[in-house]
């Protein structure tokens, strides 16, 4: 870790400013050992996502340490959000190592107060902020824009609801869950899409559809569809 102080001085310039990493991450075992030791020298440079809880932390987080198989390491806050993780409430990885502009703290607070809200540039203007300034400031401090952060936060929340067993109707009523389901499905041939649409009496199986060669999340076996003939691979005329 001898390189970190010099890296902070020459590249970061001031504490709390994030930039793209200019070096390869250490191997997983090294980072996990630093996590167990709560090594603060990685703070602001490397984060850990915990798959069992869905949160991402500083490596110095005081929380109980996860199993190594449940850890994913990232070099930026943006990568953590894109990985579907939300910030830890104990170590607060979004808080700066140094001084942060008040605007960032205010908007992050509003995002946590209402994570399902769909933000737009007009909302920022209504709060008295210039959207271009907000965009540049968030990119400089956290590596992604505020609107991107809000979108990823909604998606993560929606996926949490669906993974927790929310019904299709509940998912439809939750805009975040619906958008999360759409974004998580790779194509209209996904079992999950067919399961949801058939459950609400709208079959989305296209004409000429064939069974995919590999199972698709979240279930490899679709429920029966009364308007689809699995033997002919075509829509049933009777339905």
The per-residue pLDDT for range 92-146, each reduced to its tens digit, is 888 766 556 788 888 888 888 888 889 999 999 999 999 999 998 888 877 788 8
Residue 153 and residue 163 in contact, taking contact as beta carbons nearer than 8 Å: no
Distance separating alpha carbons of residues 94 and 90, to the nearest angstrom: 11
Determine the pLDDT at residue 192: 38
Determine the pLDDT at residue 7: 38
CB 55: neighbour CB atoms within 10 A?
Answer: 21
Determine the pLDDT at residue 213: 46
Distance separating alpha carbons of residues 57 and 28, to the nearest angstrom: 15
Instruction: Please give the backbone phi and psi of residue 48, each rounded to the nearest 5 degrees, phi first.
Output: -120, 130
Residue 66 and residue 73 in contact, taking contact as beta carbons nearer than 8 Å: no
CB 142: neighbour CB atoms within 10 A?
Answer: 25
Angle CA 12–91–164, to nearest 5: 120
Determine the pLDDT at residue 76: 87
Residue 25 and residue 75 in contact, taking contact as beta carbons nearer than 8 Å: yes
Determine the pLDDT at residue 170: 56
pLDDT, block means (10 residues), the chain with 239 residues: 42 39 76 93 90 93 93 90 88 73 83 86 92 88 84 74 56 48 42 37 43 43 48 49
Q: What is the CA radius of gyration of the chain?
A: 22
CATH class held by domain 3-87: alpha beta
């Amino acid at each position: 870790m001898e390189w970190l102080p010099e890296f902070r001085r020459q590249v970061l310039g001031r504490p709390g400013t994030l930039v793209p990493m200019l070096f390869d991450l250490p191997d997983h075992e090294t980072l996990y050992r630093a996590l167990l030791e709560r090594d603060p020298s990685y703070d602001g440079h490397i984060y850990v996502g915990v798959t069992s809880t869905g949160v991402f932390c500083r490596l110095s987080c005081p929380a109980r340490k996860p199993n190594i198989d449940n850890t994913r390491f990232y070099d930026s806050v943006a990568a953590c959000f894109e990985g579907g993780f939300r910030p830890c409430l104990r170590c607060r990885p979004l808080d700066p190592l140094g001084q942060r502009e008040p605007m960032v703290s205010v908007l992050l607070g509003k995002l946590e107060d209402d994570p399902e809200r769909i933000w737009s540039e007009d909302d920022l203007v209504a709060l008295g902020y210039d959207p271009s300034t907000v965009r540049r400031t968030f990119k400089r401090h956290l590596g992604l824009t505020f609107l991107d952060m809000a979108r990823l936060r909604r998606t993560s929340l929606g996926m949490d609801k669906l993974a927790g067993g929310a019904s299709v109707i509940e998912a439809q009523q939750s805009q975040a869950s619906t958008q999360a389901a759409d974004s998580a499905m790779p194509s209209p041939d996904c079992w999950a899409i067919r399961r949801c649409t058939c459950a609400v009496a709208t079959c989305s199986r296209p004409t000429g559809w064939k069974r995919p060669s590999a199972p698709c999340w979240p279930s490899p076996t679709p429920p029966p569809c009364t308007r689809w003939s699995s033997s002919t691979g075509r829509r049933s005329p009777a339905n």
